[in-house]
Amino acid sequence: MKIVIPGGTGQVGIVLKRALCAAGHDVVVLSRRPRRQDEVHWDGVTPGPWAEEIDGSDVVVNLAGRSVNCRYTPANLREMMDSRVHSTRAVGEAIAAAARPPRVWLQMSTATVYAHRYDAPNDETTGVIGGTEPDAPGYWAYSVDIAKAWEREQETANTPHTRKVALRAAMVMSPDRGGVFDVLLRLARLGLGGPVAGGAQYVSWIHDQDFVRAVEFLIARDDITGPVNLAAPAPLPHRDFMRALRRAWGVPVGLPATRWMAETGAFVLRSDTELLLKSRRVVPGHLLDAGFTFGRPDWPAAADDLVRRLRSTGTR
Ligand SMILES: NC(=O)c1ccc[n+]([C@@H]2O[C@H](COP(=O)([O-])OP(=O)(O)OC[C@H]3O[C@@H](n4cnc5c(N)ncnc54)[C@H](OP(=O)(O)O)[C@@H]3O)[C@@H](O)[C@H]2O)c1
């Protein structure tokens, strides 16, 4: 198949492209700064020659969006919103204008669309959309607004010949340098991998190979449309998540951190504590119902596998 991946130069794109190329597909990445032969220029906003790549392709997987790992300043928040809405609109318009539109459009979304909660897991049918939780800081609602606007842009695109799926993905854990797993592991190795703010908040995650398999599954299954959660079936409290990570590497202790310490750390790392403190309890209802099986459903075994692969690169 010919598969076009707008925004495929980032952490998730690297994982996906590597696997799809290895499976023999023809993969083209759309980037604002193309560096390789299989990368084509676009600006994520306006129509252009890049649309020719989409016309006649089989699948589009749009991953574009400004990283959320930043300080939530008004300018950054605006860019987080605009980069997602504008790029999704541009992709939708290119598909709508195509003489031979792709069969399926997988559009990245996020598990962050769901409410901050501890009491029950969120699946696609009974899950609670966030934004009005009484026990969450008001500004967290903006991340939910971004996710909703992002999905709405795909929903309203006029692409009658193309099946649309929104990927409500949890954190994708891969052994690649600079990815989420790498960053968390570095903290753990520094002795900073203890519970934060008590550690009761849930962490939703998905192993990179399951992420790829779920994407392949969704490409193949013509009966699945709309939002789909891409998360391992066993989200777990942050304190247990970090304990398993420490065990996987062999770090004996992890200093606990208070909310205040986390605020300071996030400031120093130019990040935001929402990424750490929001309770994301998200489960893959549709995938399981459709018969998808996870290769790495449990975090301790997944963490062991990621550590083994990371060590096998010989760089750490
Ligand atoms: N990583 C995760 O675990 C995770 C989980 C759930 C959802 N997501 C979402 O999945 C997407 C991909 O994640 P990722 O971790 O691969 O992100 P990433 O490493 O930040 O990569 C995203 C890509 O989007 C492009 N981009 C950045 N700013 C843009 C802008 N203003 N306009 C158009 N394109 C822009 C960049 O490509 P160029 O610079 O080459 O143009 C970048 O490589 C993101 O939208 C993210 O929010 C990620």
CA of 67 to the centre of ligand 1 (A): 5
Q: How confident is the model at residue 192 (pLDDT cuts 50, 70, 90)?
A: confident
Q: Each residue of 249-304: pLDDT tens digit? A: 999 888 899 888 888 888 888 888 998 899 999 999 999 999 999 999 999 999 99
Give the residues surrounding ligand 1 with Cβ less than 6 Å away: 7, 9-13, 31-33, 44, 63-68, 79, 83, 87, 108, 110, 169, 171-172, 180
Q: Tell whether the model's pLDDT for residue 172 goes beyond 90.
A: yes
pLDDT of residue 316: 65
CA of 247 to the centre of ligand 1 (A): 30
Q: Which two tokens stand for residue 49?
A: 């020659």
CA of 68 to the centre of ligand 1 (A): 8
pLDDT of residue 264: 86
**β-pairing verdict for 26-31 and 2-6:** parallel
| Stronger pLDDT, 187 or 229, i.e. the higher one | 229
CA of 80 to the centre of ligand 1 (A): 10
Q: Each residue of 85-137: pLDDT tens digit? A: 999 999 999 999 999 999 999 999 999 999 999 999 999 999 999 999 999 99
For ligand 1, pick from 14, 18, 67 the residue to mutate: most ligand atoms within 8 Å of CB: 67
CA of 107 to the centre of ligand 1 (A): 12
**What is 153-187 written as a DSSP string?**
HHHTS--TTSEEEEEEE-EEE--STTSHHHHHHHH
Domain carrying residue 83 = 2-312
Which ligand 1 atom is at minimum distance from the Cα of 67? Answer: 20
On whether the pTM is more than 0.95, the answer is yes
CA of 111 to the centre of ligand 1 (A): 15
For ligand 1, pick from 29, 45, 50, 66 the residue to mutate: most ligand atoms within 8 Å of CB: 66
Q: Domain holding 274: CATH number? A: 3.40.50.720
Which ligand 1 atom is at minimum distance from the Cα of 173? Answer: 3
HSE on the CB side for 154, CA within 13 Å? 27
Q: What are the backbone angles phi and psi of residue 130, rounded to the nearest 5°?
A: -80, -175
Q: Tell whether the model's pLDDT for residue 187 goes beyond 90.
A: no
Name residue, tokens 């989200």: 235
Strand, helix or coil at 201?
A: coil
Mean pLDDT across 199-221: 98
Helices and strands of the chain, counted as H and E runs: 11, 11
pLDDT of residue 139: 93
CA of 195 to the centre of ligand 1 (A): 27
For ligand 1, pick from 108, 180, 282 the residue to mutate: most ligand atoms within 8 Å of CB: 108
- Number of structural domains (the chain) is 1
CA of 246 to the centre of ligand 1 (A): 28
Contact 16, 6 (CB under 8 A): no
Q: Each residue of 3-56: pLDDT tens digit? A: 999 999 999 999 999 999 999 999 999 999 999 999 999 999 999 999 999 999
Q: Whose CA is nearest to atom 21 of ligand 1?
A: 10
pLDDT of residue 162: 98
